[in-house]
Structure 1
Amino acid sequence: MHDGSRIGLVLHPHRDCSGAATQVATWTSTHDVELVAAADDVHRLALTGVTPVAPAELADSCDGIIALGGDGTLLGAMRLVAGRPVPVLGVNFGRLGFLTEVEGRELDAALTAMAEGRSTIESRSCLVVRGPGWETVAFNDVVLARVPGEGMVDATLSVAGRRYGHYRSDALIIATPMGSTAYSFAAGGPVMSPGAEGVLVTPSAPLNGIDRTVVLGPQEPLKLTLPATAGRPAVEVDGLVRGRLGPGDEL
């Protein structure tokens, strides 16, 4: 971080992070750094010393992002700047905080370390996910999840254009190494170092077909195809419902 920088705040959508936001605003005001946040958040928390901007400007114009919340807030901030990667500092004000690097009480020290060049940046891979008529990215995982009354998750996996195998399960989890410690791990998948490369495909409560985690290379495109007799599973991206798939759809 240097003088003249523009730093963006991404805030938990419900928790009151105004105290921490004010703390960051006080710090930036003494270091010639402009602090910006989404206009809705600035107005919701009546923040002072923070410039309200549109979310698109937040993603396109900042030299770095500070995410105040939990793991979900951090993942949202990373998705926000995926097209123009800049450093993202996660500060835990949530319940889990497994991914966030800094606790709220350490915020001042973390900002000072950044200003003095004593911080390090760790790169993280993501999944590029294409569904029917949409595309997004996921830093933890993409999940096809059974919807009660809508049948099990029924999908055929193809890798680099070749049929690999079939799944019939309660859920099917496609995870990054960073996401290997989340739903995939709970479903019995292995833990991968965030510094490793690869994609994990893990079924949850499999009925038949592949019943163990498959680890694929980072450059191997994979496709999941739902047969004509399939149900309508939900698609979750980093824990957020993105939509539904139906018979014949591909992910």
Structure 2
Amino acid sequence: MGLDSGQEHVIGLVAHPRNPVAGSVALIREFAAAKGATLIAGEGDAARLGADVRGVTAEEFAERATAVVSLGGDGTMLGAMRLVVGRATPVLGVNHGNLGFLVEVSPAELPVALDRLTKGDFVLEPHSCLMVDGAAAFNDAVITGARQWAAVNVDLSVNGVQYGYYRCDAVVACTPTGSTAYNYAAGGPVLSPSVPVLALTAVAPMTGIDRTVVYGADDEVALTNRSPEPARVLLDGVHTRDLDPAAGLGVRLHLDAVNLVRFDAATHARRNRVKLSLLDLPLRPDQLLELVPEEIREQAQRLRSR
């Protein structure tokens, strides 16, 4: 269903706090005016995005937005996704950041993307997240020491049954999407996004559980801080709370928590293969060559043949 479907449309904007996004905002403003759509943004963003962008609370943003446009990199995209967890709201990412694993559209491609969005010429790609005591994390949830170099002691229970403990630098719970981030750096496995699982990986384990354990969508995981001092809890890399001694944290997988707009899933997958190769996944030179766009390969061939 496109934006010409007859319903009132409210486009929610989420912008990178520092990177320049004015060009994309101007295009979206023209698009919204032509379609009779309303523009909203968080109260902290609206003033710098323009007088016609209305500032709203997070609750009103989630309730009113019929589509969300994220202007930034993966961090901005994750923030936009967290705003509409559990809703069918489509989220379109425009890459004003760096690698952008989650973001498909470049600023130069935005006019075409908006036209296709109008026509309904796109598909929705569902993404799961972790629910951590009611808060969402699309990549990972991490328990780590409050002080530098401090280890954490964490008990693990699954579905109410005690299964062991961790003594390590940090414990990482991740989704398949987030498995290529901190989990991967800590030696954990790369998980296919098609598998509805969450994984727990210890970072620099000393004693206790020292291998990654993978749990299903119905498993309820509880992590209890057994350290003598508070631990830090980070959701998608953001310090969100402290976990006091003897306090617990509930973690479960929330399937299909949000829908991302995809115009060309194959192209997006190829781009992500290039980005993953930057993380030193093993690819031979001939496999890397296959990832180069065909027009660039043809241009290089013409230059070599001169």
TM-score scaled by structure 1?
Answer: 0.91
Contact 1:128–1:137 (8 Å) recurs in 2: yes
Q: Which amino acid aligns with 1:36?
A: I
Deviation at 1:85, TM superposition (A): 3.6
Q: Is 2:3 aligned against 1:2?
A: yes
Contact 1:150–1:233 (8 Å) recurs in 2: no
Unaligned 5+ runs, structure 2: 250-306
> Which residue in the other structure is 2:81 paired with?
78
> Which residue in the other structure is 1:20 paired with?
24
SS of residue paired to 1:20: helix
SS of residue paired to 1:125: strand
SS of residue paired to 2:63: helix
> Which residue in the other structure is 2:112 paired with?
109
Give the % identical residues. 43
Q: Which amino acid aligns with 1:59?
A: A
1:68 pairs, out of 71, 88, 95, with 71
Q: Which has the higher helix share?
A: 2
State the alpha-carbon separation in 1 of the partners of residues 241 and 87 from structure 2.
25
Deviations along 1:50-99, whole A, 9 cap, x unmatched? 33333322111111100111111111111111143411111111123121
Deviation at 1:40, TM superposition (A): 3.0
SS of residue paired to 2:47: helix
State the alpha-carbon separation in 1 of the partners of residues 61 and 123 from structure 2.
23
**C-alpha distance 223-86 of structure 1, shift in aligned 2 (>3 A):** same
Contact 1:129–1:136 (8 Å) recurs in 2: yes
SS of residue paired to 1:121: strand
SS of residue paired to 1:126: strand
Deviation at 1:122, TM superposition (A): 0.8
Q: Which amino acid aligns with 1:12?
A: H
> Which residue in the other structure is 1:177 paired with?
176
State the alpha-carbon separation in 2 of the partners of residues 149 and 40 from structure 1.
31
SS of residue paired to 1:75: helix
Deviations along 1:21-62, whole A, 9 cap, x unmatched? 1111112222232222224322124x1543333332211111
> Greater CA radius of gyration, 1 or 2?
2
SS of residue paired to 1:158: strand
Question: Larger relative CO (CA 8 A, sep 6+): 1 or 2?
Answer: 2
Q: Which moved more, 1:117-126 or 1:140-149?
A: 140-149
Deviations along 1:3-31, whole A, 9 cap, x unmatched? 33211111112223122111111122222
TM-score scaled by structure 2?
Answer: 0.75
| Paired residues for 1:126-141 under 5 Å | 126-130=129-133, 135-141=134-140
Contact 2:225–2:231 (8 Å) recurs in 1: no
State the alpha-carbon separation in 2 of the partners of residues 173 and 110 from structure 1.
36
State the alpha-carbon separation in 2 of the partners of residues 147 and 39 from structure 1.
31
| Paired residues for 1:161-240 under 5 Å | 161-227=160-226, 229-240=227-238
> Which residue in the other structure is 2:272 paired with?
none
> Which residue in the other structure is 1:121 paired with?
124
Q: Which moved more, 1:13-22 or 1:121-130?
A: 13-22
Contact 1:151–1:230 (8 Å) recurs in 2: no
How many residues align? The count is 245
Deviation at 1:187, TM superposition (A): 0.8
Q: Which moved more, 1:75-84 or 1:65-74?
A: 75-84
Q: Which amino acid aligns with 1:169?
A: C
Deviation at 1:230, TM superposition (A): 3.6
